[in-house]
A and B are shown apart, each in its own frame.
Chain A
Amino acid sequence: MDLKYPAAPRSARSEALREEVRDFLARELEGVPPIVRARSWNGFDAGFSRKVGARGWIGMTWPKAYGGHERGNSERYVVLEEMLAAGAPVGGHWIADRQTGPLLLKFGTEAQKRAVLPRIAAGEAFACIGMSEPDAGSDLAAIRTRAEPIAEGFRISGTKLWTTQAHHAQFMILLCRTSGTPADRHAGVSQLLVDLATPGITIRPIVDLAGEHHFNEVIFEDAVVPADALVGRMGDGWKQVMSELAYERSGPERFLSSMALLVALVRALGDRPDVAAQAAIGRLAAHLITLRHMSRAVAWMLERGEDPALQATIVKDLGALFEQEIPDVARALIDVDPMNEAGDSFRALLAYTVANVPSFSLRGGTREILRGIIARGLGIR
Chain B
Amino acid sequence: MSETGDMLAATATRLFETRLGEAAVRASRQGQWLASGWAAVEESGLPLALLSEEEGGFGIRISEALDLVRIGGSFASPVPLGETMIANFMLARAGLELAEGPATIALLGAGGSLDPAGGDCRLRGEARHVPWARHCGTILVIAGERLARVASTGVTIHPQAGACGLPRDRLEFDVALEPAAVAPLPRPFTSDHPLAVGALVRALEIAGALQRIVELTVSYASERVQFGRPIAKQQAVQQQLAVLAGQAAAARAAAELAALAFDGDQWLTAVAAAKSRTGEAAGIAAAIAHQVHGAIGFTEEHRLHLFTRAVWDWRDEFGSERHWQAMLGARILAAGNDGFWSFITAAEADGVEV
Contacts and interface: CB of A to CB of B under 8 A. Distances in A.
Given A289-B348, A371-B243, A318 B250 contact: yes
B103 interface: no
Contact of B329 (A10, A279, A378): A279
Interface string A257-298: 001001100110111100101111111011111111110110
A135 interface: no
A20 to B, nearest CB: 14
Contacts of A379: 218, 222
- Specify which of B242, B250, B340 lies most central, judged by the most chain A CB atoms within 10 Å of its CB: B242
A270 B333 CA distance: 6
B238 A375 contact: yes
A165 B186 CA distance: 56
Contacts of A113: none
B269 interface: yes
Interface stretch (A1-9, A103-111, A195-203): A1-9
Find the residue from A272, A288, A290, A378 having the highest chain B CB count within 10 A: A290
Contact of A292 (B222, B252, B348): B348
A5 B230 CA distance: 31
A372 interface: yes
A18 interface: yes
Nearest to B249: A3
Contacts, number: 182
B238 A293 contact: no
B322 A287 contact: no
Interface in B328-354: 328-330, 332-334, 336-338, 340-341, 343-345, 347-349, 352-354
Interface stretch (B138-146, B273-281, B297-305, B308-316): B273-281
Interface string A360-377: 000000001011101101
A293 B332 contact: no
Interface stretch (B150-158, B162-170, B187-195, B254-262): B254-262
B332 A281 contact: yes
Nearest to B353: A7
Contacts of A371: 238-239, 242-243
B326 A380 contact: no
Interface size class for chain A? 35 or more
Interface string B5-20: 0000000000000000
Contacts of B245: 1, 3, 314, 374, 377-378
Given A266-B333, A368-B239, A380-B233, A282 B250 contact: no
Contacts of B353: 7
B251 to A, nearest CB: 9
B91 interface: no
B326 A292 contact: no
Interface in A226-285: 259, 262-263, 266-267, 269-272, 275, 277-283, 285
A380 B238 contact: yes
A271 B333 CA distance: 5
B81 interface: no
Nearest to B275: A286
A16 to B, nearest CB: 13
Given A1-B214, A288-B344, A371-B243, A282 B352 contact: no
Contacts of A159: none
B329 A285 contact: yes
A293 B241 contact: no
A280 B250 contact: no
A281 B328 contact: yes
A269 to B, nearest CB: 6
Contact of A266 (B242, B327, B340): B340
Contacts of B211: 2
Contacts of A4: 252
A317 B246 contact: yes
Contact of B333 (A272, A317, A374, A377): A272
A378 to B, nearest CB: 5
A13 interface: no
A79 interface: no
B232 interface: yes
Given A318-B246, A371-B239, A283 B260 contact: no
B68 to A, nearest CB: 16
Contacts of B238: 371-372, 375, 380-381
B28 interface: no
Contact of A282 (B249, B332, B345, B354): B332
Nearest to A11: B354
B259 to A, nearest CB: 10
B253 interface: yes
A343 B69 CA distance: 52
A51 B256 CA distance: 38
Top 8 A-B residue pairs of the complex, sorted by shortest distance between their CB atoms: A282-B329, A278-B329, A282-B328, A282-B325, A371-B242, A374-B242, A9-B354, A375-B238
20 contacts: A4-B252, A5-B252, A7-B352, A263-B338, A266-B332, A277-B329, A278-B327, A281-B333, A282-B276, A289-B269, A290-B250, A290-B277, A292-B347, A293-B253, A317-B242, A372-B235, A372-B239, A372-B242, A380-B222, A380-B233
Interface of A: 1-5, 7-10, 15, 18, 81, 85-86, 259, 262-263, 266-267, 269-272, 275, 277-283, 285-294, 296-297, 311, 314, 317-318, 368, 370-372, 374-375, 377-381
Interface of B: 211, 214, 218, 221-222, 230, 232-233, 235, 238-239, 241-243, 245-246, 248-250, 252-254, 256-257, 260, 269-270, 272-274, 276-277, 280, 321-322, 324-330, 332-334, 336-338, 340-341, 343-345, 347-349, 352-354
